[in-house]
Amino acid sequence: MPHDHSHHHHHHIDPDAGDAKVAWAIAVNMILTLAQVIGGILSGSLALIADALHNFSDAISLIIAFVARKIARRPADSDMSFGYGRAEVVAALINYTTLVVIALYLGYEGVMRALDPQPIAGWMVVSIATIALVIDLVTAALTYRLSKESMNIRAAFLHNLADALGSVAVIIAGFAVIVLGWDWVDPVVTLMIAGYILWHVYAEIGGVIRVLMLGSPPGMQTEEVIEAILKTSGVEDIHHLHLWQMEESETALQAHVLIAESDLLKQTRIKQDIKQTLLDRFGISHTTLEFEYGDLICDNPKLIGH
């Protein structure tokens, strides 16, 4: 029976309304990046350029997220029988990878600048960073609702939050230059922004890689799932179990189940029982079971995998 439930569970809001928000967020971030780069060059502030690069990565991440959302909504076809939902996960991985590159570059620049401090125009830094902070907060607000439902938009949302913090740090650095004449605060803030980016990628990238590596959903104990199947009446044993996340919010399971029941109707009942249990207890919506009966079983089967 054909069932298309690739849509109803993660877009509680109209997808196109979400697209419009993301498009606005991209436009605003692009303008901001330009303003910050020019400001950073004119004022001599590396921290401002660091913040600009971070904002630019935001705009890029939003573009990638935007395109991925569009792709992810395409229905399954003969080439992609699982559908295109994983495009969002791939996009999140690309995003995090670019962030690492940016952070390492900023770290290098920050160290070079710390060794050889440059004079900085403080007021210009403060005013541009303040505009940046406002825009970051607006962008974060635009993407916040969507971030609850998508790993991909969450990556972009977290970028924005990190940006807002970066802008706050740049404002503080600007004031340190104006009030105390401490030019060295600028490269220090640059290094802090770089460190923050790396820490934040480290925290998030694992979940993305886990989906791409067909890992079981975090928080779901495979042993408990196996036990639930074995406890179903009529089930003798189970092997060749695979449990994986198809997308962020969709889990699939396949297994060979050994039964002692030869009656087809009763076999079908057992199958329905297992599927119902998995859906109710673990929310597993795609279950594929292969029944084995009597002496027609696999040779020395493994419990998990082939």
Domain endpoint, select from 157, 190, 212: 212
Show the domain range for 156.
Answer: 15-212
Domain endpoint, select from 146, 178, 212: 212
Which residue is listed with tokens 């939050």? 161
pLDDT at residue 11 in the model:
38
Q: Which residues of 143-168 are buried (b: 16+ CB within 10 A; e: fewer)?
A: beebbebbbbbbbbbbbbbbbbbbbb
pLDDT at residue 68 in the model:
82
pLDDT at residue 14 in the model:
53
Task: State whether residue 275 is helix, strand or coil.
Answer: helix
Shared domain for 132 and 69, answered yes or no, is yes
Domain count, the chain: 2
Establish if 217 belongs to a structural domain.
Answer: no
Q: Please give the model's pTM, rounded to 2 decimal places.
A: 0.69
Establish if 7 belongs to a structural domain.
Answer: no
Q: What is the pLDDT along the chain (306 residues), one digit of tens a residue?
A: 444 443 333 433 455 666 777 777 788 778 888 888 888 888 777 777 777 777 777 777 778 777 887 888 888 889 888 888 888 788 888 888 888 888 898 888 888 877 877 777 778 778 878 887 887 787 777 777 777 777 667 777 777 777 777 778 778 888 887 888 777 887 888 888 788 878 878 888 888 898 889 888 888 888 999 999 999 988 989 989 999 988 777 889 999 999 887 788 988 999 999 999 999 999 998 999 998 887 777 777 788 877
Establish if 3 belongs to a structural domain.
Answer: no
Shared domain for 39 and 162, answered yes or no, is yes
Establish if 284 belongs to a structural domain.
Answer: yes
| C-beta atoms surrounding 252 within 10 Å | 17
Q: Read out DSSP for 49-107? A: HHHHHHHHHHHHHHHHHHHHHHHHTSPP-SS-TT-STTHHHHHHHHHHHHHHHHHHHHH
Domain endpoint, select from 179, 212, 245: 212
Shared domain for 167 and 254, answered yes or no, is no
